[in-house]
Amino acid sequence: MQKLTHQTYSFDRFALDLTRGCFLRGAEEIRLRPKSFEVLKYLVENNGRLISKDELIHAVWGDTAVTDDSLAQCLKDIRHALRDETQEIIKTVHGRGYILDKEVSDNGTIAPLTTFTEETAGVQVIIEEEETNGHGVIETAALPIPRSIGLISAHRATSIERLTIAIKQHRWIAAGGLVAIAIATTAIIYFTRPGEAIDSVAVMPFVNVNTDPNTEYLSEGISDSIINRLSQLPNLRVINLNSALHYKGREIDPKAVGYELNVRAILIGRVSQRGDDLSISTELVDTRDNRRLWGEQYNRKLTDILTLQTDIAQEISERLRLRLTGEDKRRLTKRYTENSEAYQLYVMGRYFRRTRSEKGFQKSVEFFEQAIKKDPNYAPAYAGLAGTYAFLGGSGLLAPKEALQKEEWAALKALEIDSDLAEAHAAMAFVRQLDLNWSGSEEEVKRALELNPNSVAVLQSYVYYLQPLGRLDEAMLYLKREEELDPVSLLIRADIGRALYFSRQYDRAIEQFQKTIEMDPNFAPAHARLALVYLTTGMYTKAIDEQKKAIALDDTSRRVAWLGYAYAMAGQRNEAKRILDDLKDEQSRGRYVSPFNFALMYMGFGDKDQTFIWLKKTFEARSDVLWDVKVNPQYDNLRSDPRFTDLLRSMKLPL
């Protein structure tokens, strides 16, 4: 028999295995990010002692400069893993620090792992008795079991306590009986999980049985609504719709999906609509063994869709055995409108916004406005409208000041109706940022995080707040959290690549963008951002090729201006001049052209005077395109100019 000794700390119902670098809740391994693991380790090793913020930061990050937010995020991760929202395990002593207020055992309650020795008959499991035979020698019983059983960890020993007692009392049991006991033991260990909560789920896009493209919005919308409800629960990780849509139209293998998305359960659904009749079937599956946890068939009227979605979300939370507070239950069942027509229009607004095209944005605005007409007190419809205007202004499809004005109106209206709507606070954070009210922006986005810490859109808002201020390490933490919730998202992968570029990690940025393009060669932002890295590193031919690919996939005046910038940087001035003339001609015909497009062109030509003139016009237009001016290497050639310092000061950014 071989024993693998592990250095472990155990407390409450948890264990920290330092040898394997894992964290266990009972028999289940819980994933923690490396820094979160280190923070927990330090608190465990110093249990019962008050640890100041400074001491904890120095112990985990050493001399690396980080802010309190990095530590706060780690503690949030740890409390989520511990299910310690009430701070019964890790207490916060305001103004002083933190204390792990539980007794900790060093190699105490969790025993070493016991391996099996292979013999011709199979594999032996050694079950050790707690008492000696009177001579100081621990007796064991060798039980032949199938070789496929593999390895059982002794930290599950409590599950087989009765079996151990039986062996003590009946040592005359025949070998056949021992085999039966071994098999029963294995069944206990692997197939009974009494009371074990499932802390991660993916809601697959509901299959549109009718295959009618005009009702496709409804099948996606049902999934989207259930995800939005479940994501508000603090102890549940819910995969974002973007990643779920990756499996749309594909045969679902729960085990494979569970592995790819790192979730314990998935919800599969089918929806059929005939006139006003709606038929929905659902099935919740455990991804470890494809075991059906729950299923239901609903036959309702289309007007009952709001109640139906609430019922499904409640059923899922119960089947996942989540421990919900009264506030959690209130959020799960909250109704924002009683008008099913308004809801359907709202769903269509979100559906078309996901296309991220000019036509899609325009239709999104139309449907959100129609939803508001149906129900003027429908807060999410106002918040959705604010989000779409943000996209229109940011992409240069609408004059930024006009977009900002409309976005602010919609966000304020949403908050006036419902001050607890996370999406509305996230929209207002963006408005405050463009108004250069950085402290107000942070207040809004932090409030949004409090209301929905599992919203990818909210996390993204915080990233877009942190990066302009140069807080790149913190931003990367939240990007990684986004990736956990939306692991298949191309946009998040491209955002991580851009963050690496801002950090001057060019090789890693190139690798990240190339991997994103491998996943989907038709994803224009990855090509455009890769082009910028190539430009910064002097690979002009590659940059021009990538920008052309981006334009072929998404032909906007902004992307064309970037191509002109690349031509100018590469010394191909005639091609660049032709694009500059086209932009001027487009502007003369009355179409909105962002002043940033001209700033780009003159930056490529090396004309600093014209560059700063147009950068100033861009700033005055309140365009968010300048949000990265402090951290973007693209502006490195301008940083020594006093006018650049003036620009940062005008934007109220740290110098």
pLDDT by residue (tens digit) across 184-233? Answer: 444 333 333 445 678 899 999 988 887 777 778 888 888 898 898 888 88
Q: Which CATH superfamily is domain 339-487 in?
A: Tetratricopeptide repeat domain (1.25.40.10)
pLDDT of 110 higher than 60: no
Structure confidence at residue 14 as a pLDDT band (50, 70, 90): confident
Number of CB atoms found within 10 A of residue 336's CB: 19
Tokens of 201: 């789920």
H-state helical runs in 245-325:
254-261, 305-319
Structure confidence at residue 66 as a pLDDT band (50, 70, 90): low
Decide: helix, strand or coil at residue 390: helix
Number of CB atoms found within 10 A of residue 314's CB: 15
Structure confidence at residue 578 as a pLDDT band (50, 70, 90): very high
Strands 207-208 and 265-274: parallel
Cα 179 versus chain centre, distance: 46
Number of CB atoms found within 10 A of residue 121's CB: 12
Distance CA 43, CA 598 (A): 54
pLDDT of 340 higher than 60: yes
Pick the closest to residue 153 from 203, 200, 189 (CA basis).
Answer: 189
Distance CA 427, CA 282 (A): 33
Output the pLDDT for position 310: 85
Pick the closest to residue 33 from 63, 76, 64 (CA basis).
Answer: 76
Tokens of 231: 């994501």
Q: Higher confidence at residue 522 or residue 624?
A: 522
pLDDT of 107 higher than 80: no
Pick the closest to residue 213 from 244, 252, 249, 247 (CA basis).
Answer: 249
- Contacts (Cβ under 8 Å, ≥6 apart) of 272: 209, 210, 278, 279, 280
Task: Find the mean pLDDT for residues 89-115.
Answer: 69
Task: Find the mean pLDDT for residues 406-426.
Answer: 96
CATH topology assigned to domain 3-106: Arc Repressor Mutant, subunit A (1.10.10)
Computed from CA positions of residues 91, 462, 525, 636, in that sequence, does the dihedral angle turn out positive or negative?
negative
- Contacts (Cβ under 8 Å, ≥6 apart) of 44: 9, 11, 16, 100, 104
Structure confidence at residue 121 as a pLDDT band (50, 70, 90): very low
Pick the closest to residue 242 from 53, 490, 421 (CA basis).
Answer: 490
Q: What percent of the chain has pLDDT above 70?
A: 84
Which residue reads 């129900």 in tokens?
375
- The beta-carbon contacts of 169-177 under 8 Å, at least 24 apart in sequence, are 171/141, 175/144
Output the pLDDT for position 329: 85
Highest-confidence range of 102-106, 252-256, 395-399, by mean pLDDT? 252-256
Q: Which CATH superfamily is domain 200-335 in?
A: TolB, N-terminal domain (3.40.50.10070)
Contact present, 147 and 118 (Cβ < 8 Å): yes
